[in-house]
Amino acid sequence: MAEKFDIVVIGSGPAGYVAAIKAAQLGMSVACVEQWVDDKNGAVLGGTCLNVGCIPSKALLDSSQKFVEARDSFALHGIGIGKPKIDVAAMQERKKKIVGQLTGGIAGLFKHNGVTVIQGRGKVVSGANVEVTDKDGNSRVVEAGDVIIAAGSEPVRIPPAPVDGESIVDSTGALEFSEVPKRLGVIGAGVIGLELGSVWGRLGAEVVLLEALDDFLPMMDVQIARETQKIFRKQGLDIRLGARVTGTELKKGKVEVTYDTAEGSHTETFDKLIVSVGRRPRSEELLASDCGVTLDERGFIYVNEFCATEAPHVYAVGDVVRGPMLAHKGSEEGVMVVERIAGKPAQLNYDCIPSVIYTHPEVAAVGKTEQELKADGVEYKAGVFPFAASGRALAANDTEGMVKILADAETDRILGCHIVGPSAADLTQQVVIAMEFGSSAEDLALMVFGHPTLSEAVHEAALAVDGHAIHVANRKRK
């Protein structure tokens, strides 16, 4: 007799495990299907984010940034420690422990909330049920009242640079280097490429990023993108735009990369090469042909604004559906779906989802960019405040970057916030809250911010929207 659950979730990443826990909290019987296994044949929970993505990369980013501070900044504070050394093995072991603690935490939460874990590859079949195939090829059908697909994403592969796991690696392999490469090539100067390039660049690698696009971070506000590029180049990252990789060749333990620019063909040799040209939805072998769920031309599962597919009782959330591939976006979609299944009128405000690049300084944004507003014909106002004018940033010797706030010219409603600078992720979240409540720039300007704090930069940028900034000269208005 087939197992039956109110909800079956496919995938235990941030979108999947959050949906499973939320459903259990609402009194539903829940199973979570996960295909990853450990060396004891147990399900590895947490998905890409916790195991080979967000969490391990941030652990390495924080470790490498502390190395840079010890090397370059401690003397400014009167702290003498001599020349610091990096122990890559110890750094990797710390990362491993953090990952283990968090993935183990999910297992504990599943047990506490009564979520059943089923190891195997899940496939949606007709009738909103799930066929689960274990690592030995044995299959069984699990009956579900509703199915939530949260299968996640995987790195995009490109023919000119086939990943071998040794000399040419994807983002997963780039987290596992046992030593700092002397010369590191990175294909792609997007979020992942910049973060991984920063980790190894801080530790001493000569890093060259080859970006096929002519514009740097085109999804970001253009003013912030330009400032960010300037900062990263100052840090030593060699960012080459309009550089399309055409081939790679392994020679004597090195990687020879050929790429084209407007000036012609070029060749560079690296000790290691990271391929980070984006991610694609993990939707292959996920859907039976007669299940009623459809894919778009890029492999994303088609859903409506509430993440419902075209098949009754089947939903999809996270990286397998439209929108930015962000862990927090997937988590909130999972919560929304579960609450709607429970009969609650839940929805998600996609205009208020922040995005972050966890370099140093951080780069974060929410809402519209200036170029998007211009393209849409929206009249707007902009306020900018540099961290160089922040007392708290000066005290911390962390003054690069700025806060930029965009507001509707007529209503003053906040339309976007873009930050490059210290604690940009946390500062942007303050504006996310304001935008969720429909606040105006004046609302932020009238609030009292603690002194001295980095948050005051947000306050001053809000004041600057109408030319009222106190701690920086205001631009003349026409």
Domain termination residue (choose one: 277, 294, 313): 277
Evaluate the CA torsion angle 300, 154, 231, 455 in order and state its sign.
positive
pLDDT at 446 over 80: yes
Q: What is the mean pLDDT of residues 382-409?
A: 98
Average pLDDT, the chain: 97
pLDDT at 478 over 70: no
Q: Position of tokens 């306050």?
A: 459
Q: Do 15 and 145 fall within a single domain? A: yes
Instruction: Name the catalytic one among 266, 313, 360, 451.
Output: 451
| Domain total in the chain | 3
**Cα(31)–Cα(113) distance, rounded to whole angstroms?**
11
Q: Do 246 and 326 fall within a single domain? A: no
CATH code of the domain in which 36 resides: 3.50.50.60
pLDDT at 308 over 70: yes
Nearest Cα to 99, choosing from 54, 166, 39, 161? 54
**Cα(43)–Cα(164) distance, rounded to whole angstroms?**
26
User: Over the stretch 13-41, which tens digit does the pLDDT of each residue have?
Assistant: 999 999 999 999 999 999 999 999 987 77
Tokens of 9: 């979730």
Q: Position of tokens 């506000």?
A: 221
**Confidence band for 1, pLDDT divided at 50, 70 and 90:** low
pLDDT of residue 476: 72
pLDDT at 477 over 80: no
Q: What is the mean pLDDT of residues 166-182?
A: 98
pLDDT of residue 2: 73
- With a pLDDT cut of 90, the percent of the chain lying above it is 96
Q: Which domain covers residue 174, as residue numbers? A: 168-277
Q: What is the mean pLDDT of residues 286-292?
A: 95
CATH code of the domain in which 385 resides: 3.30.390.30
pLDDT of residue 475: 80
Nearest Cα to 351, choosing from 307, 414, 288? 414
Q: What is the mean pLDDT of residues 131-153?
A: 96
User: Over the stretch 100-140, which tens digit does the pLDDT of each residue have?
Assistant: 999 999 999 999 999 999 999 999 998 889 999 998 899 99
Helices (H), 155-210: 171-174, 191-202
**Cα(276)–Cα(272) distance, rounded to whole angstroms?**
13
User: Is 411 part of a structural domain of the chain?
Assistant: yes
Catalytic residue flag (residue 313): no
Q: Do 146 and 256 fall within a single domain? A: no
264: which strand partners? Answer: 261
Domain termination residue (choose one: 330, 348, 366): 348
User: Is 469 part of a structural domain of the chain?
Assistant: no
Nearest Cα to 21, choosing from 152, 154, 148? 148
User: Is 57 part of a structural domain of the chain?
Assistant: yes
**Cα(283)–Cα(299) distance, rounded to whole angstroms?**
6
Q: With 0-12 CB in 10 A as exposed, 13-18 as middle and 19+ as buried, what is 82?
A: exposed
User: Is 424 part of a structural domain of the chain?
Assistant: yes
User: Is 326 part of a structural domain of the chain?
Assistant: yes
User: Is 299 part of a structural domain of the chain?
Assistant: yes
pLDDT of residue 42: 83
Q: Do 310 and 446 fall within a single domain? A: no
**Confidence band for 323, pLDDT divided at 50, 70 and 90:** very high
Query: Would you give the DSSP letter of residue 115?
Result: P
